[in-house]
Amino acid sequence: MSETPAIEVKDVSKRFGPRWAVSRLSYSLPRGRSLLLTGHNGSGKTTLLRMISTVTFPTAGEIHILGLESRANREALRREVGLLSHASFLYEDLTAEQNLRLLGNLLGLDGLGDKVMALLDKVGLKARSDSPARHFSAGMRKRLAIARLLLKAPRVALLDEPFGELDPEGILQMEGHIQDLQAGGTTVVLATHLIEQGLRLTQERLHLENGRLTRPGGERVWEG
């Protein structure tokens, strides 16, 4: 029997009031593969990632992650899925080190001291380990957020515009972090407007237009 997909989206739609943000989308991503998600602002990329991460749920259809239906298995999947989103969700009054230690304690990780400092060094924040997150620039906050995701080591990583707010050096570092996730067997879904970087880092591509799955050139793959 073949292995269940990492992500399986089955005829999924999501409505906000009268507007359908995602409409009858179906797709299956094998484990260990990397997907580039493209589309203009408002095309449904963020909504789709939020549904896969169980932050919200479909209005219709089902999403299965690692073989588990998302709505019925939300708590179990929260440990397996990591989301890097526009909002960093950092604890503002905690230092960079404390933010990571808190997550590590919640996850029950051992050897946190070495892991935390190694990750802060990896993302270029070791010198600011004692600084509260509220004092960080947008780029530094993004670096701390990716450090938190790397500490979690999710089996599925959802990256929503991970290159935003980063300088050229930070973009190169982020590419390396994504490659590290892939090398560890993590299934990665990357939503970005930086198509060149995205294509270089992924194996498959989906393009959304008005919440529907299309080819990059605009031709509809299927009619809902």
The beta strands (E) that lie in 33-186 are given as 34-38, 60-65, 68-69, 81-84, 156-160
Q: What percent of the chain stands above pLDDT 90? A: 88
Alpha-carbon distances of 188 from 28, 81, 118, 182, rounded to whole Å: 13, 10, 22, 7
Number of domains forming the structure of the chain: 1
**pLDDT number for residue 223:** 34
Characterize 48-81 residue by residue with b for buried, 16 or more Cβ atoms within 10 angstroms of its Cβ, and e for exposed.
bbbbbbbbeebeebebbbbeeebeebbeebeebb
pTM higher than the cut 0.85: yes
The CATH number linked to 18 is 3.40.50.300
User: Quick one: DSSP state of residue 133?
Assistant: G
**pLDDT number for residue 218:** 46
Q: Residue 130 domain-assigned? A: yes
Q: Residue 166 domain-assigned? A: yes
Q: Residue 223 domain-assigned? A: no
Reply yes or no on whether the pLDDT at 144 is more than 90: yes
User: How far apart (Å, rounded) are the C-alpha atoms in residues 210 and 214?
Assistant: 10
pLDDT digits (tens, 9 = 90+) for 164-214: 889 999 999 999 999 999 999 999 999 999 999 999 999 999 999 999 988
Q: Residue 222 domain-assigned? A: no
Could you list the residue range(s) of the whole structural domain that residue 55 is in? 7-214
pLDDT digits (tens, 9 = 90+) for 99-130: 999 999 999 998 888 999 999 999 999 999 99
Q: Residue 2 domain-assigned? A: no
Q: Residue 219 domain-assigned? A: no
pLDDT digits (tens, 9 = 90+) for 59-88: 999 999 999 999 999 999 999 999 999 887
Q: Residue 159 domain-assigned? A: yes
| Among 27, 32, 1, 30, CA closest to 12 | 27
